[in-house]
Amino acid sequence: MSVCVVGHSNPDTDSVAAAISFANYLKATGTDAVACMQIEAAKLNPESTAVLKKFGVAAPQTLMDAAGKKVALVDFSDIGQAPANIKDAEVVAIVDHHKIGDITTNNPILFHAQPVGCTCTVLHEMYKTNNVTLPKDVASLMLCAILSDTVNFKSPTCTEADKKAVAELKGIAGVTDTDSLFMEMLKAKSSIDGVPMKDLVFRDYKDFDMNGKKVGIGQLELATVDQVAGIRADLVKALEDLKKDGRHSVLFMLTDVVKEGTDLIVVSDDNALIESAFGAKVENGSMWVNGMMSRKKQTVPPLQKAFGC
């Protein structure tokens, strides 16, 4: 039985690239594997779609139900971000760069997590350490994933290991100008014209368990927050509808890559709690948080503390 390598729900470029990269790694080291993702290719986010097209790589297979399958998880280890029936699957490996989640296994597994800015940085280290040949197309995807996850090294999640990986991967990929590559990716990522509101909300969205309360956090990385001015009311309405589905709060990060900060839309039962997390006031349904670029490092941890996790 092939191992299905799959990233988190609502996959981003790291999740997609990591699935492809780790599947290739497993095959190269003697384990049959196939790259998967929890979405149909036609619904994949525009940045990942553009990256796959640019480097001529097919999108991973769709995997929505893990029951009865062998699976390897990349870029997450939380049940809430896994395919349906993950408890009825055999998890054989996890490669990640987030906090350890609530996935459990009955047997020892390969588990490789590092406090770096991107799962593909972890995978790059695995390729090097074990002398596994890294194909040019896979290296290209990994390069893009690191640039995306670290916001071209602007994110506080970025480490020297990420920068070193980019320096080495760009040589394998034959890329000389990573700044231009990042801006090309940002242009695709921040495109909102004609995108249905539901797709926009779930482009990069995750639910979290905060001390028994369900909290949703989405993010759009934009060249300027002004890009969403014309659809802001509709966006807020969509978030309000999402909150009604059993969530205590829904937060949506409109991250301005140029200004290096986030306009945080807040839809919550307890604005004061959210304010205490970030030290800012909710005014007209949102707050500006200067320097906030990362959901993982700058949004989730303060919320967990505020919720008493």
Nearest residue to 23 (alpha-carbon basis) of 15, 13, 31: 31
Mean pLDDT of all residues in 60-74: 98
The answer to whether residues 83 and 33 belong to one domain is: yes
What pLDDT does residue 263 have? 97
- In this structure, are residues 84 and 222 in contact, taking their beta carbons and an 8 Å threshold? no
* 192 falls within a domain: no
The answer to whether residues 173 and 231 belong to one domain is: no
What pLDDT does residue 192 have? 87
Which letter does DSSP use for residue 188 in this model? Answer: H
pLDDT tens digits for 243-266? 999 999 999 999 998 899 999 999
The answer to whether residues 150 and 99 belong to one domain is: yes
Q: Given a cut of 90, is residue 130 above it in pLDDT?
A: yes
How far apart are the C-alpha atoms of 157 and 14, rounded to whole Å? Answer: 14
- In this structure, are residues 121 and 165 in contact, taking their beta carbons and an 8 Å threshold? yes
Provide the CB-side half-sphere exposure for 220 (13 A, CA). Answer: 28
Please identify, among 153, 187, 221, the residue that sits at the C-terminal boundary of a domain. 187
The answer to whether residues 27 and 166 belong to one domain is: yes
How far apart are the C-alpha atoms of 94 and 22, rounded to whole Å? Answer: 10
Query: Predicted confidence band at 223 (pLDDT cuts at 50, 70, 90)?
Result: confident
Mean pLDDT of all residues in 291-309: 93
Q: Given a cut of 90, is residue 23 above it in pLDDT?
A: yes
The answer to whether residues 169 and 231 belong to one domain is: no
Q: Name which of 42-46, 48-52, 299-303 the model is least confident about.
A: 42-46
The answer to whether residues 20 and 155 belong to one domain is: yes
CA distances (Å), origin 302, targets 36, 62, 114, 154, 309 = 32, 34, 21, 20, 10
* 229 falls within a domain: yes
Q: Given a cut of 90, is residue 306 above it in pLDDT?
A: yes
- Percent of the chain beyond pLDDT 90? 91
Domains held by the chain: number: 2
- Percent of the chain beyond pLDDT 70? 100
Mean pLDDT of all residues in 37-65: 96
Mean pLDDT of all residues in 199-214: 93
Q: Name which of 18-27, 61-70, 187-196, 281-290 the model is least confident about.
A: 187-196
What pLDDT does residue 71 have? 98
What pLDDT does residue 212 have? 95
Q: In which domain, by residue range, is 75 found?
A: 3-187
In this structure, what CATH number is given to the domain that contains residue 258?
3.10.310.20
User: Residues 6 or more apart from 6 whose CB is under 8 A from it?
Assistant: 19, 36, 37, 38, 60, 63, 66, 71, 72, 73, 74, 83
Q: What is the pTM of this model?
A: 0.82
Mean pLDDT of all residues in 40-46: 92
The answer to whether residues 179 and 274 belong to one domain is: no
Please identify, among 165, 187, 209, the residue that sits at the C-terminal boundary of a domain. 187
What pLDDT does residue 309 have? 83
Please identify, among 167, 187, 207, the residue that sits at the C-terminal boundary of a domain. 187
The answer to whether residues 201 and 156 belong to one domain is: no
Mean pLDDT of all residues in 221-245: 93
Q: Given a cut of 90, is residue 193 above it in pLDDT?
A: no
The answer to whether residues 158 and 205 belong to one domain is: no
In this structure, what CATH number is given to the domain that contains residue 108?
3.90.1640.10
3-state helix, strand, coil in the chain (%, to 5): 40, 20, 35
Encoded tokens for 142: 């990994």
The answer to whether residues 153 and 270 belong to one domain is: no
Strands, sheet with 249-256, edge to edge from the N-terminal-most edge strand: 205-210, 213-222, 249-256, 261-268, 286-290
